[in-house]
Structure 1
């Protein structure tokens, strides 16, 4: 499966604006430092939110698979002394089906949290620049995350914000984080789609069907669009997401017990997220800012 196309922050190219005067830089730097601390704190919180939702999702996915397999094998299961009870298999199957529906709902809720956390990661990574804003009829210079003056790149002309790192270097580190979570969200979405489709196909909801281009929850595509993860009218999701799924997903096949266990293991592994590198990035940024990000 191809990784999702990295979403580059605005102004990710090296600054072409002239170097600000020393006086302007002295005014800009405290505001830029304050903004960067805020955005990296947002990244830290969004990262924790994402990982917590992923852990919840794995728990719900495991419960869904267990209920589904129990219902699948119920007709041939040895019930021992219970085998002669009238309607026991039908009653057990009905309860398992209701359990599947509950687990579906909880799995979707966890996935939604992951999407919202990813959106927060992207927004924070795109908000690291600090632009000057001159108030009308006031000599005071204020600062904002929005670029009103196209001649102001918001990066202090490439000057270090704290000691060594420029705004662009902070942005590149943030983008490295974001790319990991976007790639993993792609995989998680595929697993959610498959786990929901299995139960739909095997009788919990006979009239339901899912395609890659369907929203998995109301507002999902609005969230993707708000952070630049939609790519044109012909695809509900980025082209390389759709291409990857067309190779990996086979909606007409019912996965075996072993395949479902592989899905759960893949979910648990967070295969696209390099935890040691994430810790290293936050430690590096924290040292540069002289704050603790953990």
Structure 2
């Protein structure tokens, strides 16, 4: 780094799987850091080994008491302190916001080193509308509490992003289907890793597929916006698709209408194929 690194708190995004995704700037800050605040020193230790550095690490979470945070804040005033999570961007379903808030209130220098985020990466892989989305993180583990949260989300007309683990995936998908109704969705696993997998389909299909399966690895579930609620809305979508077909090939017409109405592009493309087959009979 051409200029000296200023004392302060650096929120450093780290890879979510592939260590090659560590940015050059993130590597420079970690190399310069006097202290690295971590979730698990074993996980961050592997990253430090990758860049060939040994650093002082302190375990930090938002349950740390005010006295411990004051010690860290004092260090931020005279040292380079990096905050990392086990993977991805800190503070996204991970601890850290209390420390950031108090460091800012104390007038300390606070900045972020942006980089990987599983939620955003999954959204780009899902094939679902990405112009508006809501990140919910992990849903409650119990069906009743999970269904209550899903009921609050049901009327929101935007793509929803959830984190989940393999053991709970089948139950989570079943509850999501029951509360939100059948919507296009995607289950995305092990992003950037060797066994990365994206499975798309309606919630009913995904709930059936994972009912008796407990896939390994980090999982993100992306659920599309509410589908058309009545026959008139379906007619509107079909009319828009026919209009789009007058100026675009089928695949592009399906994509355009899917983005506009928040519906499954594959279903619209299949509909164009049925119309074509019917017209040739």
TM-score, normalised to structure 2's length?
0.23
Question: Structure 1 or 2: larger strand share?
Answer: 2
Structure with greater Cα Rg: 1
TM-score, normalised to structure 1's length?
0.22
Question: Structure 1 or 2: larger helix share?
Answer: 1
